[in-house]
Structures are given as C-alpha cells and as structure tokens.
Amino acid sequence: MDFNYSPKVEKLRRQVRDFTDDHIVPRVGEYNKEVHGGQFPVSFMEDLKALAKSEGLWNLFLPHLKDDEPGTQLTNLEYAPLAEIMGRIEWASEVFNCSAPDTGNMELLHMFATPEQYEQWLRPLLNGEIRSAFCMTEPDVASSDATNITTRIQRKGDDYVINGRKWFISNASHPNCKIFILMGKTDPDADTHQQQSMILVPSDTPGVEIVRNPTVLNHHSPAGHSEIVFRDVHVPAGNLLGEEGSGFALAQARLGPGRIHHCMRSIGAAELALEMMIERSQERKTFGKYLHQHGTISEWIARSRIEIEQARLLVLKAAWMIDNVGAKTARKEISMIKALVPQMHTTVCDRAIQVFGAMGLTPDTPLADHYTWGRCLRFADGPDEVHLQSIARLEIKNSKANLGSTAAYLTPPDRT
Ligand SMILES: Cc1cc2nc3c(=O)[nH]c(=O)nc-3n(C[C@H](O)[C@H](O)[C@H](O)COP(=O)(O)OP(=O)(O)OC[C@H]3O[C@@H](n4cnc5c(N)ncnc54)[C@H](O)[C@@H]3O)c2cc1C
C-alpha cells in the first residue's frame, strides 16, 4: 500500500493550492462584502472561472471526461486531495466548476442524457455557462425515504405535466440556475422502486415558482436551499431522463459521487479549522499559560488530528473503491464516509470555535460558516441515521453466510 500521492497528483495539488492562495484567498473579504451587500453572483466569479479553466483546473471531478470536454480527467482517488483544498473556502469549488449540486448533476447527465439533452444542458454545464439544481426533497413527506415523494409527473400527449412542492433545493435561487433535475412519480401503482422518474425542467418554465429561500441555522445562502412549487408545469416528453420508472436507480447513481465530493471538501474545512485552532492556541494566554498548554486544548488538538486522518483514509478508500469496483459495490464505504465525515467536520469546527472564544461565533473567522455547512451535511444527501442503517443492514446481510463462525471463540461456563 502506497500512501503517497502520485507525481501527477502532487503537481495538481501544487497548482490548485497556488491558484487558491493567489486568486481565491485574497478575495474572501471582497466576496463576503459583496454577498452581504446583496451582490450575487459576486462580480469577479466569472473572471476567476475563466482563469481556472485556462489553466486546466476545470471539471477535475469527472472521471469519465471525454477528449472534447473541457478540463482535466482524474480518477476519484486523484481528485480527492484537490477537492480537499477547495473545501477550505466555502465557495472555492465553483471557481473550478467542481461545486455541488452541479457535479452530481453533470455526472448523472454524463451517464444518462440523450444527445439532445447533452447539447442543451450538459455542454453548457461543463463549460460553466449555467448552473443547475436537483429537486427531490419535499416538505410534506419524510424524504430521507425517497419512496415517499409525491410530486406527480404525468404524460399528457407530447408533454409531461408536473405538480408538486419541493424544498431545500440547493442552488435553485442562483440567478444562473437554468435547469432542474426533478424526481417525481410517473406511476404510483408500480412496484415501490419503479414508481419514480427523473425529468429535466428548465427553471423558467411557466408554473415553476420559487416561493422562498429559507436560511439554515440562520445562515443565508443566496444560491438558496429553496422551496419551489411546480403547478401544471409542462415540459416536452423528450425531457425525461432515462426510462419511465428508472428514477430511483438514477438517484442512487447520482448520490454516490455527490456524497464523496462533499466528504472530500469537509476534510479540507476541518483541516483549516485545526490549523486555525493550533495557531490561536499559541497566541493567547489564560492563567499564565498559552491555551495549548492547558490539557483540554492539547487533547482537542490531538483528537482533531486523529479524527481528520481517520476520515481522510476512509474517504480515500471509498474513492479507490468507486474507481475500481463502482459506486454500487462501494455503497457501504460511501455510507460510512457520509455518516462519519460531516460529524467529524462539525466536531473539529466546534472545538476551533471554542478555542477562538466568542470571536469564533462571528463572521470574522470562517469557522461559523464551516460549522454550519458541516451541520447541514448531516442531512444533505441523506441523514446520518439512514446511512448507519444501510451500513448495519449490509453488515448483517454479509454475516449470514458465516453465521455461527464466532461460536468457536466462546468459552461456555462449566455447568456440570
Ligand atoms: C443544506 C441542505 C441542502 C440540501 N440540498 C438538497 C437538494 O439540493 N436537493 C434535495 O432534493 N434535497 C436537499 N436537501 C434535503 C435533504 O436531502 C433532506 O433533508 C434529507 O434527505 C432528510 O429528509 P427530511 O428533511 O425530509 O427528513 P425526514 O425524512 O423527515 O427525517 C427526519 C429525521 O428522521 C430520522 N430518520 C430518518 N430515517 C431514519 C432511520 N432509518 N433510522 C433512524 N432515524 C431515521 C433522522 O434523524 C432524520 O433526520 C438539503 C438539505 C440541507 C440541510
């Protein structure tokens, strides 16, 4: 087992790191000022994207990038350490056209789009000309069980007609979000996992209404986690993605890569929080000692280092598995990182906030934003508990083949 990054990845890490240090970190203040002043998208985003694209630091997330598609093709394992660097700043991944939910949507379209859908939606997404959203969750049903969703997609003549309400739809309020991938039911009477389909809905279709953009933990995201009503929304039948009834299978295909990207970026956020915690603890003194000289704080530092390393190794293993055996076979590893990494992300950020004192809660550090996002990730793409349930189910299923094999390790008491 070789724990080193390859020379190719080392070179790209340097490039992404240098780009981030030279062009993104210096703009954090400007970004916050513009966004809090109501300017969104920020004025310099398109320039930064163009620069990253010209340097080949583009679409790094897509392992099956074709020759005529812009960007650099990498495996998931190669991409992981680059996504980690992007995760240090909340909005950095957009600069490299590697941000959620576009990455998951592009992967899905890459696998299932018809040539017409490819030209109309995937090509502009790959070029970074438009943004997208993924609409599954609904306010009226427990959406961590996707079989519950009720939005209807009904065939009428040459169209499909959509009626329903979605919420927490990330990116839907981005002014450049032009396309929604929506999951709904085409046949509520079919077998449980064949009732759902996915369909492409241009965001300006009549009947689509963004009714609000709720804050999360009182944090306002201008791109939104929006609530959207679909009222008699007509789209051409050719907008169906895949076959009727294949929605559930498509959702599974999308969520594998999407989940791992979030986890990769979380490692970067946690790493930054730890770096900040360590620096701060060497700057301030209480009761005659630097903060890191107090046992509690040094334990937090040590535990954070251990937890980040554990998480990174598991994420790299999951990435390797997706590359080598596919997301379906790697589903246990994907659930494992999804249940582990956002929790680690919030724990490390929470410790860093505490070490910073009250300042940790203010916008003067990125810690509050990183904490909030880590907390959100414990829901986005499925809550922790659903992933824990999947892991346990797979473990129990696997154990059935060898049931009784631990009996030899028992030493029964002598009851004679
Ligand atoms: C910031 C953010 C961004 C999001 N972006 C999107 C998006 O772009 N598109 C989209 O479609 N959705 C998005 N979501 C929604 C997210 O996917 C859902 O919130 C999540 O799937 C849970 O669904 P729910 O909120 O309906 O919770 P429910 O299904 O009502 O579940 C509530 C709680 O029940 C518990 N629970 C559920 N199942 C089990 C179980 N098997 N065992 C034990 N406990 C269980 C869990 O604690 C869970 O949190 C986003 C969410 C957030 C917070």
The ranges assigned to domains in the chain are: 7-99, 131-245, 248-398
Q: Which fold has domain 248-398?
A: Butyryl-CoA Dehydrogenase, subunit A; domain 3 (1.20.140)
Q: Is 385 in the pocket of ligand 1 (CB under 6 A)?
A: yes
- Is the CB of 219 within 6 Å of ligand 1? no
The CB-side HSE value for 400 (13 A sphere, CA atoms) comes to 5
H or E segment to which residue 240 belongs: strand 240-241
Burial label, 253 (beta-carbon count in 10 A; 0-12, 13-18, 19+) = buried
CA 174 to CA 283: how far, in whole Å? Answer: 40
Whole-number pLDDT of residue 415: 85
| Strands of 103-239, DSSP E | 131-135, 152-156, 159-170, 177-185, 196-202, 208-212, 225-236
Are 7-99 and 248-398 equal in CATH topology? Answer: no
Please state the atom number of ligand 1 nearest to the C-alpha of residue 383: 49
Nearest-atom number in ligand 1 for the CA of 216 is 1
Cα 354 to its chain centre, rounded Å, is 26
CB-based contact 61:260 (threshold 8 Å):
no
Q: How far is CA 18 from CA 52, 74, 99, 264, 273, in A?
A: 11, 19, 19, 19, 20
Closest CA to 176 of 233, 124, 135: 124
> What pLDDT, on the 0 to 100 scale, is given for residue 256?
74
Atom index in ligand 1 nearest the CA of residue 171 equals: 8
Q: Is 388 in the pocket of ligand 1 (CB under 6 A)?
A: no
CATH superfamily name and code, 7-99:
Acyl-CoA dehydrogenase/oxidase, N-terminal domain (1.10.540.10)
Q: Which atom of ligand 1 is nearest to the CA of 100?
A: 8
pLDDT at 152 (0 to 100): 98
Q: Give strand pairing partners of 155.
A: 160
CA of 339 to the centre of ligand 1 (A): 13
- Which uninterrupted H or E stretch holds 293? none
Residue whose CA lies nearest to ligand 1 atom number 51: 380
pLDDT number for residue 64? 87
pLDDT at 258: 77
Ligand 1 center to 390 CA (angstroms): 15
Q: Check if the beta carbon of residue 213 is closer than 8 Å to that of residue 71.
A: no
Structure confidence at residue 253 (pLDDT): 80
Distance CA 16, CA 34 (A): 24
* Cα(285)–Cα(14) distance, integer angstroms: 35
Return the CATH fold of 131-245: Butyryl-CoA Dehydrogenase, subunit A; domain 2 (2.40.110)
Full-prediction pTM beyond 0.85?
Answer: yes
Which pLDDT belongs to residue 394?
96
Q: How far is the CA of 377 from the centre of ligand 1 (A)?
A: 10
The tokens 């030899």 sit on which residue?
408
- Residue 298 corresponds to which tokens in the numbers above? 């040094």
Q: Which of 137, 170, 203 to mutate to test the pocket of ligand 1 (most atoms within 8 A of CB)?
A: 137
Ligand 1 proximity of 240 Cβ (cutoff 6 Å): no
CA of 172, closest atom in ligand 1: 8
pLDDT at 237: 98
Question: What's the 382 CA to ligand 1 centre distance in angstroms?
Answer: 5
- Integer-rounded Cα radius of gyration of the chain: 23
Low-confidence ranges of the chain (pLDDT < 70): 255
Check if 313 has its Cβ closer than 6 Å to any atom of ligand 1: no
Query: In this structure, which residue's CA is closest to atom 35 in ligand 1?
Result: 385
